[in-house]
Amino acid sequence: MGNKSINRIKAVLAEKNKTNKWLAEQLKMNETTISRWCTNSTQPTIETLVDIAKILKVDIKELLASTQ
């Protein structure tokens, strides 16, 4: 089934000119964890996605890849 993109965290960080390191600091989390989310090898919890959306000032829908 391949590595489907479920989240768009990497793309939104790029749009906002922010780094994984910056997001890790904002969330007080490990940079490796952020990196795994950005490559879609693991996924953040819904609660964490809500936090990320607030930090990046985007709608949570922006962080999710389209299912269309």
The domain spans of the chain are 9-63
pLDDT in tens, 27-50: 999 999 999 999 999 999 999 999
- In the prediction, which pLDDT does 20 show? 98
Contacts of 40 (CB under 8 A, 6+ apart): 3, 4, 5, 6, 7
pLDDT at residue number 1:
43
Above 80 in pLDDT, residue 51?
yes
- In the CATH scheme, what architecture does the domain 9-63 have? Orthogonal Bundle (1.10)
pLDDT for 68 = 63
Q: How far apart are the first and last CA of the chain?
A: 17
Amino acid sitting at position 18: K
β-partners of residue 7 are 64
Give the count of beta carbons closer than 10 Å to the beta carbon of residue 45: 8
**pTM, to two decimals:** 0.89
